[in-house]
Structure 1
Amino acid sequence: MQKIALVLFDGARLFDTAVVDEVWGARSGPGAELRKCAETKDPVRLTGGAVLTPERGFSWLRTADLVFVPGLADVDARPSPALLAALRSAHRAGAQVAGLCLGAFVLGAAGLLDDRPASTHWRFTTELARRHPRAHVDPGVLYTGADGVWTSAGVAAGIDLCLHLVRLAQGADAAAAIARSMVTAPFRSGGQAQFITAPTPPPGDEPLAAVRERALRELRRPLTVAELAGWASMSERTFARRFVAETGTTPLRWLLDQRIARAQQLLERSALPVAEIASCCGFGSAVSFRQHFTRQVGVAPSRYRADFRPAITS
């Protein structure tokens, strides 16, 4: 049973609290225990006039595996000293701490962003970097994290971070099932851009969508930007520019993300040897696969399989 703490405070964004409740509440099933925590048991007023009643005090954060901090409605609001102390204490006790959107400012005030990567809504990344110069603020990514401290960009990026943390805790299949039930994208990597130039292509003009579909069918073999550009009848330069504009990431980064996602599924669902999975997913060697997988997922393929072995069906 994974213990999840959702921090409540006056002026927190209702959307962010709802995202955590959606992903880690009933949809995560019996594998997670979600509790709403605040400084006192008094009702907490969120944005839009919504009122929630806490179930636990801040002391519960020290027992949690994962602590979520929703965004601030007012970036200039000052988090209470009790909240900041509780977050520091929870992280020291081993909890992962995640700040959604402007919740990054709360983590920064607690000193948890020092010498770590950080993100927030693109409109406030400059201010986050100004207030917390020791944080490594990346203004473009959807979410990022290190040493058990996570932050996400605005609004929907909070869903992406929550699903990523489900993947790490319960496996890719569990995250995909939650995404399906929420009717949202099952996998957007943290390195994807916060916004893209052309979110929807003109009607009847979707050559790159067809390229991506074909690439997914042919992940087993090496694929180059030149080959993908040829499928789209474009020069490499034009193809790369259009790809980033449509997806928010580069062709090679997108391919790597899809190879890793496919590998996670195979590790969970099959008993194939790691070397064979590496080949099925288009990695040049088992060594290269292990390096990329460990860097992106945070654990080696063998450890990932051991963690989620109950999901293997063959």
Structure 2
Amino acid sequence: MDPRDVRPASSPAPPPAPSVALAVTDGMLHFELSIAYEVFSRDYDLTVCGPGPVRAGRFLLEPDHGLDRLRDARTVVVPGWADVDVAPPAALVDAVRAAHDAGARVASLCTGAFVLAAAGLLDGRRATTHWAHTDVLAARHPRVTVDPDVLYVDDGSVLTSAGKAAALDLCLHLVRLDHGSAVANTVARRLVVPPHRDGGQAQFVTTPVPAPGNHPLGELFPWVMARLDWPLTVEDLARRAGMSSRHLARHFRAVTGTTPLRWLLAQRIRRAQELLETTDDGMESIAAATGMGTATTLRRHFARTVGVPPDTYRRTFRVRATSQPARAGD
């Protein structure tokens, strides 16, 4: 055989990108709409679905398809609804309900929860929205368990978020579910935001996304992230920040909504997730790389925080990395 006739084996084609549809109509909040568009514009097959030219604030948007195409998407995202005193359009409500009935995962950002509630998707579920409107949502939809003290709620096929920065947290959470922590962290770095805030974190955060140099802790966060393998203590963080441990705790609560130790553990867990997804490192190596000392400590904290043992998590995300995520309901 002529060696020139030998062709290299072709690599398997990558799985198609999961589809996301933004459900839009007049009266949407342009900030939340822009967040969703920016996060899902890469790594996804993104479409915008609406009844025609849509005005969001001062912006005029031309959708790709009508609302009927929402049912073809794996994930439907409903941005914030500007005037919660006005019922959302029936066509939007019906289309969102039909998409969920067809198996789509449906997520609302901020007051988009009012659209999901009107569609009956939140009945019997726990949900959230912007803290200023949680009482209204609870009074108008008594079958919904409204939680005013969280950033977002993941109830499987239905997800809701609080306002503004929390909407970004939920979008990054969806990316993490679909593609893993490594991709979600890449998106977060591109947007210059922290890669993860737990959904159960309080909404009342003075500065949820501090810029380096604009806050007393702005220089501390990247310093810690580069040293997660160190056995850092609160005293170490306070010394680096040049303040007392009590002063540090006050700043942490204002910026992150949690304590220094809980924040540090969350970063260690996130790093462990990324290593589990992207490397073949053993548990002892990952424990050392994340500052958790031993595999036993890693397994205990990981299972308590994530809900599954690290070995199970690794197997799950290795499968996701090689196959297209399944539609909800498939």
- Given the two structures, how large is their TM-score scaled by the length of structure 1? 0.80
The match for 2:26 is: 10
Contact 1:274–1:301, Cα closer than 8 Å, also in 2: no
Q: Which has the higher contact order (CA 8 A, sep 6+)?
A: 2
Structure 1 residue 207, shift from structure 2 partner: 7.4
What do the CA deviations read for 1:242-267 (whole angstroms, capped 9, x no partner)? Answer: 53133211334313321221012212
Letter in 2 for 1:147: G
1:126-167, Cα deviation, whole Å (9 max, x unpaired): 212222223232223222221221111212222221112111
Contact 2:78 2:112 in 1 (8 A): yes
TM-score (structure 2 length as normaliser): 0.77
**Shift in Å, 1:9:** 0.9
Matching of residue 22 in structure 1 with residue 32 in structure 2: no
1:279/1:96 Cα in 2 relative to 1: closer, same or farther (>3 Å)? farther
For the residues of structure 1 that align with 2:167 and 2:206, how far apart are their CA atoms?
Answer: 21
2:176 match: 167
Q: Does 1:128 align with 2:140?
A: no
1:46 to 24, 34, 56: 56
* Pairs within 5 Å for 1:301-312: 301-308=314-321
CA distance in 2, matches of 1:296, 1:253: 19
Kindly report which structure 2 residues correspond to 1:201-280, keeping only aligned pairs within 5 A, or say none: 206=216, 210=220, 213-214=223-224, 217-218=227-228, 234=244, 240-274=249-283, 276-278=285-287, 280=289
Q: Deviations over 1:249-290 (max 9, x none)?
A: 133431332122101221233111346435543261535524
Partner SS for 1:150: strand
C-alpha separation in 1, matches of 2:37 and 2:218:
35
Question: Residue 75 of structure 1: CA displacement?
Answer: 0.7
Name the counterpart of 1:187. Answer: 196
CA RMSD for the aligned pairs? 3.3
Matched residue type, 1:44? V
Q: CA separation in 2, counterparts of 1:55 and 1:204?
A: 40
Look up the SS of the partner of 1:194 in the other structure.
Answer: coil
**Which one of 63, 73, 80 corresponds to residue 64 of structure 1?**
73
Using the TM superposition, give the Cα deviation of residue 117 of structure 1 relative to its aligned residue in structure 2, in angstroms. Answer: 2.4
Partner of 2:122: 113
Gaps (5+ residues) in structure 1? none
Which of residues 28, 44, 47 is equivalent to 1:35? 47
SS in 1 for 2:110: coil
| Cα-to-partner distance string for 1:223-259 (whole Å, 9 max, x where unaligned) | 7768877988756x77644531332113343133212
Look up the equivalent residue of 1:3 and give its one-letter code.
S
Tell me if structure 2 keeps the 8 A contact 1:211–1:228: no
For the pair 1:289 / 2:302, whether they are aligned, the reply is yes
Aligned length: 299
- Give me the whole-angstrom Cα distance separating, in 2, the residues matched to 1:132 and 1:220: 49
* 1:186 to 1:296, Cα distance in 2 relative to 1, 3 A: farther
Secondary structure of the 1:187 match is: coil
Query: Structure 2 vs 1, CA of residues 113 and 292 (structure 1 numbering), >3 Å: closer, same or farther?
Result: same
1:97 and 1:149 in contact (8 A); partners too: yes
Q: Please say if residues 72 and 99 of structure 2, whose CA atoms lie closer than 8 Å, have aligned partners that are also in contact.
A: yes
